[in-house]
Structure 1
């Protein structure tokens, strides 16, 4: 009788988390394409612009750690909703601020805008919550496909809005865009609250059943993955596993890089190649959409070929693309290099989370928090560094900034070779 009250299916669970992450990530898609507007109103330097477009990634990365681990005790819906609400507050706040101060009264407000951008970035932090929430819905053999679909489709948000925003700005204006995005996020938060469900185990626990009973009945319904301990335990247990930190480094480069470049590319295309805002937005959208969409395929490929092999090839693509981008002034070569970069980053992002249940099976939420959080921290760190390089070298510095990814790719190739050898040794011992 009790089981009849249990709600949801794996498919519905995946739909809820994917939509929630899509709406949350959409909240920060404005910052990159509109950075030029802030530059004009407040006379920002390249470094200040880099920090402005990166600030949502700071909260979007750091909040992933505790909120991702929290899933192991709640199932995910509660921490997910809290993050979406924080993002609503941040985006609503900056919308009100712009309505009263843009463009002539914005001097001296840079710090406040950074703070509101920090709050808006909480929407990005839903990623680690959704990863763990989704993971508990699916068996091990389907983790790559499920997590690839979740992350790939959810990650489409910044690309889609990088494509739409320039046309919206031309038609309706700067402040109207922020108001529209605020309403979109608010509606999305309500939709997530209505349709999202936690996996069966957490529903049984909420109904007062003990751990053993909840596991038994959840297994009867098909659930395979279960948490081990509370939030603190999940973080500590996953942190003790050294391979968690190897996965953090891999994710820092490709997902942190993805977030950072989605915000940075409008600046790169407009300042280095003198593109219009609309054209820069279009080229940014191509990168973001491709990196997101191919992540779905990357999950399937990782299931079939193995996460380590797929990650190795992906990082080689990132390395080659970064070398070309660092030194070319050709739009054509730059464009095809960006395509290569998007493929490498998107596929590696899927491969990394395919490896999480293999390396950290008893603390998925904690691992997702560390990997998603510290990995996404790259989205905050990388744009200001690229801005500093541009500040130092002038216009050509916008190209030389990609040297950051050459260094990161080489370092990560060493890590994945280590993991690959470790995997081979385990296979031989079986």
Structure 2
């Protein structure tokens, strides 16, 4: 009567998120093209590369909570379709107006960029959808694998895109990525599966019957209430907001830097678009891959401890990047930053089922949504610092992460102290 398995559920969400995240991978590496065509300031360019993260964060909140009533597949598909419309719109404008007629189109580019960011919002849907498939002792592994492999998209395409641009051109790249996103949407529609509980409900079983039958199949996590209830119940848990702050620093930071690093390497160090893209890709891929192992590590030693270690790495790396402008030290430090961010991202969602077991979807929405808002909020701030301080400002912008890391470390210390009291 029901279809799928935990491994199949994980495959569907991971592929869907990978395709959805790929939709916005063009904006950072191609920001220089928009700057030249529309004569953008650094602050305007920072806002342009950040705009997909705005929808990618805000839409996570309601769509993540929606999983608690539908299982995830329906909201996931809606977000993918919105992203297809956004990327298709940008592609159309570039075909019609680039490069000589782009003046006056900045607002429209931002609008389509906003829609494109819906692909990032699939994250919170996939987190909750995946979480319902797996028992509590495998949450770190499952969610780390989902997010880590899904997050590979911007890194992989940061490698591919510069070569594609050289061979086929700027506009062709947007059209190719648009077709890729359409293919991904169709793929998820066929592969994506809801956990057993939601399948039984769709078949007409009562809530009690669905719970009993799905529990017998190994499902351990179940929703409580509708979308509104899920958001309200999770919002009432104060640790939800602690996790939001931690995720803002490292996942919001990850999205921000994936978009900002091509600008940083180009403007501060004079790298070509190709070289800047490759350096950015290394950061993005390492941050994504380490997230897989960070989840397994958190399963073994605890999410709070792993989070604390990773945030110390983020703090050290951010201090170094703020004051050292050499290429060798800068590149080495970005690797340390990637490791810290990737590990903490895994540790945070290991803690969600422990802190908010009755409203995983709602909590995932708040954490994924407001946390990812950092991807929108941080680049314009870094751009403003660059505008005010000239070339050196591109390095000084990392002081933002110094402040965020210090705040996050303090939050984790409070969580650890709280956890010890509960155990005692």
Q: TM-score, normalised by structure 2?
A: 1.00
2:336 paired residue number? 340
**Quick check: 1:57 aligned with 2:81?**
no
2:374 paired residue number? 378
Q: Map of 1:292-371 to 2, 5 A cutoff?
A: 292-371=288-367
2:128 paired residue number? 132
2:2 paired residue number? 6
2:281 paired residue number? 285
1:152 paired residue number? 148
1:409 paired residue number? 405
From 261, 264, 271, the counterpart of 1:268: 264
Q: Map of 1:208-287 to 2, 5 A cutoff?
A: 208-287=204-283
Aligned mates of 2:423, 2:329 — CA distance in 1:
41
Shift of 1:425: 1.0
Encode CA deviations 1:348-369: one digit per residue, 9 max, x unaligned: 0000000000000000000000
**Quick check: 1:418 aligned with 2:414?**
yes
Misfit runs of 4+, over 3 Å: none
Aligned mates of 1:231, 1:329 — CA distance in 2:
48
SS in structure 1 of the partner of residue 219 of structure 2: coil
Encode CA deviations 1:331-350: one digit per residue, 9 max, x unaligned: 01101110000000000000
CA RMSD of aligned residues (A): 0.3
From 36, 44, 68, the counterpart of 2:32: 36
Shift of 1:427: 1.2
Aligned mates of 2:325, 2:343 — CA distance in 1:
27
Aligned mates of 1:217, 1:129 — CA distance in 2:
23
Encode CA deviations 1:255-285: one digit per residue, 9 max, x unaligned: 0000000000000000000000000000000
Shift of 1:109: 0.2
Q: Map of 1:146-225 to 2, 5 A cutoff?
A: 146-225=142-221
**Quick check: 1:392 aligned with 2:388?**
yes
Aligned mates of 1:369, 1:329 — CA distance in 2:
38
Shift of 1:426: 1.1
Query: Please, which runs of 5 or more residues in structure 2 have no aligned partner?
Result: none
Shift of 1:407: 0.3
Shift of 1:49: 0.4
Shift of 1:149: 0.1
Encode CA deviations 1:135-185: one digit per residue, 9 max, x unaligned: 000000000000000000000000000111000000000000000000000
Shift of 1:209: 0.8
Q: TM-score, normalised by structure 1?
A: 0.98
Shift of 1:319: 0.2
2:137 paired residue number? 141
Aligned mates of 1:236, 1:32 — CA distance in 2:
35
